[in-house]
Amino acid sequence: MAVLSEHLRSTSIPLHLLPFSALLLVLLSSIQAFFFLQQWKYSIFLLFCCFFLAFVLVSRPPSVYLVDFSCFKPPRSCQVPLSRFIQHASAVESFDDQSVEFMAKVVASSGISEETYLPPALLCFPPKTHQRDYVKEAEMIIFPLMDDLLSKAKLCPRDIDILVVNCSAFCPSPSLSSIVVNKYSMRSDVKSFNLSGMGCSAGAIGIDLAQNLLKTSSNSYAVVISTEILSAGWYSGRERSKLLLNCLFRMGGAAVLLTNRKAASKSSKYKLTTTLRTQTAFNDKAYSTAIREEDDDGKLGVTVSKALVQAAGEILSSHMAVHGSKTLPLSEKLKHVVSIIRNKIRPKTVEIYTPSFKTAIQYFCLPTSGRALISEIAKGLKLDGGDIEAPLMTLHRFGNQSSCSMWYELAYLEAKQRVKKGDKVSMLGMGTGPKCCSCVWECIRNIAGESGNNPWSDCIHLYPI
């Protein structure tokens, strides 16, 4: 107590003010503690924001880039002018005069030129339709595609982490993807997939599949190969609904190299921004519009019904409605919504506004199933003649190449040096099922002058016709 008293006397605070000093000290301490806690709350909040941002960045799937692609150009010996096509068809004993005449009319009015290609097996007398001929045709297309693509990208086969091969009509065992893995001695852990029976939409579906696989495989390369083995889909009967595929489909193939490596963002051509798939196989009527089956004589072929056009229109309508919600600018969406509201208020007096996809996308690669279908799709999307130049010219020069036609259309646009940095290209695939799949690419660097190794390089000056 004596020591304490002496200490208190030595302080400058008078004893009678000690209670008030103590109270002031407690108050100041409380205020300081309050501000400290407030600062701590802000620190916790800032720390939480940092952790959340880091989580979003880490959990966000990596971007998928299109490094390069290759399109197969068959040799001149495979060119089939109309006269040669009729000559070969006439030599097939199973075709009668009416069948040959029907196919000649379809080919003449289809919009394809005299320079499209058929595989060697179908140019024989009679056409060869055996398993070994199917495999030869597949090797004739796929191997040069892989060689060219790997050469462009300066990669070796063991650099490939994911392989997707799609072919609708031909599904051998071992699969086409296994044939590629075996030929190029790929790694034992390469993820290989084989798609079949998906028609002309399989090319875009293959891209969608590769994108999903790249989401879970960091720093990877994926190759997507799209083709159609025509000798496996050749129909030698007399039913007209099955003869259409003989007339319209032509030889072709494409190989695409994708990656999710960040370093590829500077050297790649395109960035994948949107993919969308729509399916209507649950509808029995739509499901039966294009189906592979035997005729009365037991000959296998794809029956194409007259309801196919209606089914294609319905699936395209539902597909583009969702596609538009993802890609269209806000102004186009508002115009559409306002027109719907006005139409509800004043029925049949206000037309519902159809959004213009040209406000968001500069170029369109459409199915090359025929001039009539291309024109109908263009009408629904409010496209003009210039917008459908690429699909029409691809149909003319190479015919309908099924799932790989979209890549010949993109090659056409590149050969014309039209795609610039920042432009967006939409690819649309429609196939049996029916099913629809679309991909939107954004050009991320200037690619002018890189179309030397291009299927159009020797004839691009002749187009458009």
Distance CA 72, CA 256 (A): 12
pLDDT at 335: 87
pLDDT at 223: 98
The predicted structure's pLDDT at residue 87 = 87
d(Cα 241, Cα 305) in Å, to the nearest integer?
7
Looking at residue 93, its pLDDT comes to 82
Of 325, 133, 319, 158, the C-alpha closest to 233 is 133
Q: Which two tokens stand for residue 333?
A: 């969406």
The answer to whether 451 and 414 are in contact (CB under 8 A) is yes
CB contact at 8 A, 441 and 425: yes
253-259/424-431 β-pairing: unpaired
List C-alpha distances in Å: 380 to 110, 291, 319, 383, 418.
21, 26, 12, 8, 24
Predicted confidence at residue 49, as pLDDT, reads 55
Predicted pLDDT of residue 68: 96
| Joined tokens for residue 100 | 């040959």
- Homologous superfamily of domain range 62-448: Thiolase/Chalcone synthase (3.40.47.10)
d(CA 92, CA 79): 19
Structural domain boundaries in the chain = 62-448
Cβ-count burial 289-320 (b if 16+ within 10 Å, e if not): bbebeebeeeebbbbbeeebbebbeebbeebb
Per-residue pLDDT of the chain (465 residues; tens, 9 = 90+): 333 344 334 444 444 444 445 555 555 565 565 555 556 555 555 555 555 555 544 556 789 999 999 999 999 999 999 888 888 888 888 888 999 999 999 988 888 999 999 999 998 888 888 999 999 999 999 999 999 999 999 999 999 999 999 999 899 999 999 999 999 999 999 999 999 988 899 999 999 999 999 999 999 999 999 999 999 999 988 999 999 889 889 999 999 999 999 999 889 999 999 999 999 989 888 888 888 999 888 999 999 888 888 888 889 889 998 999 899 999 988 888 888 888 888 777 778 888 889 999 999 999 998 888 899 889 888 899 999 999 999 999 999 999 999 999 999 999 999 999 999 999 999 988 889 999 999 999 988 777 667 899 999 999 998
Given this model, what pLDDT does residue 110 score? 86
Sorted by sequence, the CB contacts under 8 Å of residue 382 that are 6+ apart come out as 354, 355, 356, 357, 358
* Contact assessment for residue 96 and residue 238, using Cβ atoms and an 8 Å cutoff: yes
Is 454 exposed, middle or buried, given 0-12, 13-18 or 19+ CB atoms closer than 10 A? middle
Residue 128 per-residue DSSP state:
P
User: What pLDDT shows up at residue 11?
Assistant: 42
Q: Is 170 exposed, middle or buried (0-12, 13-18, 19+ CB in 10 A)?
A: buried
| CA–CA distances in Å: residue 277 to residues 280, 429, 437 | 10, 10, 4
